[in-house]
Structure 1
Amino acid sequence: MFKQSKNQSEKAFKEIIEKRIVPMLTEYQPFNELIKYICNEEINTSIENIKNLIRDEKKQILEVNNLHKEKAKIAPTVLYLSGQINSGNKSAEKEMDKVKERMLEINTEIEKKEIEIQEILVNKEKENIELLRKTLNESYDIIKSDEKKLYPLLDEIEVMRKELEDKRILRDNLQSRINSTYSFIHGFMGGKETERFDEHMLE
């Protein structure tokens, strides 16, 4: 990576990560354009891992939201039952116990899922950094490989360009000499005599 030793490359990579906010690469358009050219099996694996983590994250968030909605629906019931209990309704106490138990279950589930979401976020960030590392490594490998092919090609094109320029100069010189020679002949002999000579001399 970075055309340096492994230790220097790793140090440079860490410094870059510390100074920049790394976007989620799978959702970053320049990255998605880049992988059309540099994708390999390792990169594909990381991409799939991130996509799976994103799916899990969305699923957990949806479930947490649904649990919060359920809590919101239970809240009026708690108020109602509290009023009933205060009014001496004994049967409301059993119902309140059930509601409280469900509220505890919901809170426990929410807490558990929020912990899972945080773990997913941490794993997603780690996988994203690893994907960046793999992408940079592959990018520089491709650059080095392509440069080996490109520079000789550029040299070849430069030679061809020079040859073409030399031929253009020769073409102009030849055309100029032909025009000058014809101009002299035509001026000296006139049009008709020049045509007669052309028939014999240019066969």
Structure 2
Amino acid sequence: MFEKDIDIDYGLIIKNKVPILTMDNDWKKIFGNSKNKDINNYKNILNDLIKEQRELSRKLVQLKTKKKRLMAMILNLSHEINNNSNSNSRAVEKLDECQSEILTINEEIETYTFKLEMLPKEIRTANLNLLKATIKVAYKDIKSTQKELKILNNQIDELREKLKNLIETKHEKEETINKTYSFLHGILGSKEMERLDAELLQSK
């Protein structure tokens, strides 16, 4: 039953706003330490994709910051070259270096941006696969636990019946004592009963 693939609609991830499972506290509490091979496999894939997304975002911020700094340098160098007839060749060379570096940065920004645009879909797919693996394990555990629960409920019912019988027996014994005691009390009187109680009922 649990070996076949779980049929979960991809749109469910978006429609129901299913969280990233490895970042969800409830999922981590229940399945975070699971020994299941599929869960661990998809968990690692998902975590790697999230890590890659964070790393690319960090690099993209760094590249854009660097590009901004280079653009400012180009403006300064251009101003220096255009307004200084005695500008040296080093300024022109530096300008070319900055422009060349910006071209390289633009290519890297384009590459990282494209990868970042693709990653959300890959993350949703990995999350869906992890959800399917989780559902398989969850229902397997539920089925197993239900069997254990049925046994426990039967044991509880047996104990309840036993307790009920014990309580009935207890009440019967108490009623027998009360009837016997009442009979003797009526014949002998309280004073004689007190003497006999002290003599015959004291523990030995």
TM-score past 0.5 threshold: yes
Residue 170 of structure 1 aligns with which residue?
169
Q: Say how many residue pairs are matched.
A: 195
Residue 106 of structure 1 aligns with which residue?
105
Per mean C-alpha deviation after superposition, the further-off stretch among 42-51 and 13-22 is 13-22
User: Aligned partners of 1:83 and 1:33: how far apart in 2?
Assistant: 61
Structure 2: give runs of 5+ residues left out of the alignment. Answer: none
User: Post-superposition, which runs of at least 4 consecutive aligned residues in structure 1 deviate over 4 A?
Assistant: 36-39
Structure 1 residue 176, shift from structure 2 partner:
2.5
Q: Does 1:54 align with 2:50?
A: yes
Counterpart residue type for residue 63 of structure 2: L
Structure 1 residue 177, shift from structure 2 partner:
2.4
Note the 1:109-148 alignment, pairs <5 A. Answer: 109-148=108-147
Picking from 41, 45, 65, the partner of 1:45 is 41
Per the alignment, do residues 108 and 37 of structure 1 end up closer, same or farther by CA in structure 2, a change over 3 Å counting? closer
TM-score w.r.t. the length of structure 2 is: 0.82
> Is the 2:13–2:124 contact (alpha carbons within 8 Å) kept by the matching residues of 1?
no
Percent of counterpart pairs with the same letter? 28
Counterpart residue type for residue 76 of structure 1: A
Per the alignment, do residues 125 and 47 of structure 1 end up closer, same or farther by CA in structure 2, a change over 3 Å counting? same
Structure number having the greater helix percentage: 1
User: Aligned partners of 1:16 and 1:74: how far apart in 2?
Assistant: 45
Note the 1:16-35 alignment, pairs <5 A. Answer: 16-17=12-13, 19-35=15-31
> Is the 1:46–1:131 contact (alpha carbons within 8 Å) kept by the matching residues of 2?
yes
TM-score w.r.t. the length of structure 1 is: 0.82
Residue deviations 1:167-186 (CA, integer Å, cap 9, x gap): 11221221132123213312
Structure 1 residue 25, shift from structure 2 partner:
0.7
RMSD after superposition: 2.7
Structure 1 residue 46, shift from structure 2 partner:
1.4
User: Aligned partners of 2:105 and 2:119: how far apart in 1?
Assistant: 21
